[in-house]
Amino acid sequence: MAGKLMHALQYDKYGGGADGLKLQHVEVPVPTPRKDEILLKLEALSINPIDWKIQKGLLRPLLPRKFPHIPGTDVAGEVLEVGPGVKNFKVGDKVVAKISHFVGGGLAEFAVVKENLTVARPPEVSAAEGASLPVAGLTAHQALTQPAGIKLDGSGKQANILITAASGGVGHIAVQLAKLGNTHVTATCGARNIEFVKSLGADEVIDYRTPEGAALKSPSGRKYDAVIHCATGIPWSTFEPNLSEKGKVIDITPGPSTLLTFALKKVTFSKKQLIPLLLFPKVDNLEYLVKLVKEGKLKIVIDSQHPLSKAEEAWARSISGRATGKIIVEP
């Protein structure tokens, strides 16, 4: 593929608001895989809010590492070339991979991925389903299994879980994974998605725009042992009265106030805790999630699918914050 050009979308400066939509369609060289890398012909990419938050400058000056930057990290595709150190994949294999946010490159026809964050995609799992799993699926998995301590084989002791924004990319996976464990799940979403979130297995669902929903009160009067907090803008004072004695709020969008509360709870030896979560992707967990989809134990809901030629519409859809499930771009 050396010397061949491909279609991609990139941005060359930070921008927010209307500027945040400005992705440029460009023709750039197809990347070449290095020793431990694989070149993929992409079949699907899923967008995550962090992609456009990086464009807005949220992680400035760390990310992006340089301009211009082709965003996109969660991909499914077919192996076209392998670097000399790649052992487990060959040309023609269908795979799912998580690209580092430091590198990006997913919003394109071709991308290079590292072998150590690549897994096989069986025919029962569509490219769109596979591409939905890396950030959203791994975040839901990490939050539930690590800080919340839920055993997904159902062997742990019973726990009451609250999942906020259960209709979103992370939330809709978190509800289903939580129900694999020994849990009672309360979930929040907008009125239009209540039946949808119940269909994922949530035991009770509350509309976040009602007073009871905004107060996060469990209709059955339960106190939460863990909250997988996928929404934003809810203060600790709203969570606190709803937590069990050692209840934990796992905040997957930690801002300065989360970090402050986290530190305060630590130094005062509070039993109730607020825990900021940053994703550390693990290939074994990605393999596990693909297997769950293959076995029909995890259903991936696609909000919308957009061709690469109109990828800016997918970008705008994610920025709107109204997605139900995952937003997919297809080259």
Ligand X SMILES: NC(=O)c1ccc[n+]([C@@H]2O[C@H](COP(=O)([O-])OP(=O)(O)OC[C@H]3O[C@@H](n4cnc5c(N)ncnc54)[C@H](OP(=O)(O)O)[C@@H]3O)[C@@H](O)[C@H]2O)c1
Binding site for ligand X (CB under 6 A): 48-50, 135-136, 139, 164-165, 167-171, 188-190, 193, 208, 230-232, 252-253, 277-279, 318, 321-324
What stretch of H or E contains 289? helix 283-294
Burial of 161 (0-12, 13-18, 19+ CB in 10 A): buried
What is the C-alpha to C-alpha distance for residues 331 and 318, in angstroms, rounded to an integer? 18
Closest separation in Å from C-beta 66 to ligand X: 22
CB-nearer residue toward ligand X: 175 or 293: 175
Closest separation in Å from C-beta 36 to ligand X: 24
CB-nearer residue toward ligand X: 90 or 322: 322
**Can you read off the two tokens belonging to residue 3?**
């010397």
What is the C-alpha to C-alpha distance for residues 70 and 52, in angstroms, rounded to an integer? 11
Closest separation in Å from C-beta 215 to ligand X: 12
* Cβ contacts of 214-221, under 8 Å, gap ≥ 24: 214/238, 215/242, 216/162, 216/164, 216/188, 216/242, 217/242, 218/160, 218/162, 218/186, 218/242, 219/186
CB-nearer residue toward ligand X: 111 or 277: 277
What is the C-alpha to C-alpha distance for residues 270 and 262, in angstroms, rounded to an integer? 10
Closest separation in Å from C-beta 123 to ligand X: 27
CB-nearer residue toward ligand X: 132 or 183: 132
What is the C-alpha to C-alpha distance for residues 118 and 33, in angstroms, rounded to an integer? 14
CB-nearer residue toward ligand X: 42 or 231: 231
CB-nearer residue toward ligand X: 40 or 174: 174
Closest separation in Å from C-beta 324 to ligand X: 5
Closest separation in Å from C-beta 322 to ligand X: 4
Closest separation in Å from C-beta 289 to ligand X: 14
Amino acid at 303: D
For 59, residues 6+ apart whose C-beta sits below 8 A from its C-beta are: 53
Closest separation in Å from C-beta 310 to ligand X: 19
Closest separation in Å from C-beta 54 to ligand X: 10
CB-nearer residue toward ligand X: 112 or 277: 277
Q: Residue 132 carries which DSSP code?
A: T
What is the C-alpha to C-alpha distance for residues 217 and 137, in angstroms, rounded to an integer? 26
CB-nearer residue toward ligand X: 38 or 302: 302
CB-nearer residue toward ligand X: 23 or 173: 173
Length of the chain: 331
What is the C-alpha to C-alpha distance for residues 160 and 184, in angstroms, rounded to an integer? 5
What is the C-alpha to C-alpha distance for residues 166 and 186, in angstroms, rounded to an integer? 9
| Residue 244: other Cβ atoms inside 10 A | 15
